[in-house]
Amino acid sequence: MERACGELTHFDSRGRARMVDVSGKDITRREAVARAEVLMRPETLDLIKTGGTAKGDVLGVARVAGIMAAKETGRLIPMAHPLNLAAVSVHFRLRDPDAVLIETRVRSEGRTGVEMEALTAAGVAALAIYDMCKAVDRGMVVSNIRLVEKTGGKSGTYRREGEEPWEG
């Protein structure tokens, strides 16, 4: 269940930002899945498919960028806890005629969830695609970064309605 606006966890009773104390939480297996999209000209997607960009393997670089971003989330997002991640994966789907779809999956055993790590990985992977292709298409749009699923912890499971699971 979503919290009401007056119950945001990253603010104290006076409205000051704070890092949530998770020391009393149980250690559980936690996993999160996030997605993002990069919209582009069809010619740009064709370059990604054929490896025709001047900077090299667009999706390979974006995969590494997403993994690195998940590992650095505690340094990038002010109130995110630094976490010991067990696994991070970044997958892509090319959607003709004009989009790269990104899915990230992050797992840990800990006291707090990995939603921010999955979202950060998806966003940075998308930005890496933009960076790799901007010389040929500055009009690309990074869009629709969202949490698709999270499991583990006191709040249990969340699944976004309307999201189809990815096969393989």
Residues labelled as active-site residues = 131
Q: Which of 111, 120, 5, 36 is nearest to 74 (CA)?
A: 120
**Positive/negative CA dihedral, 140, 126, 9, 157:** positive
Cis omega before residue 82 (within 30°)?
no
49 backbone dihedrals φ, ψ, rounded to 5°:
-60, -40
Q: How far apart are CA 117 and CA 92, in angstroms?
A: 17
Q: How far apart are CA 92 and CA 86, in angstroms?
A: 21
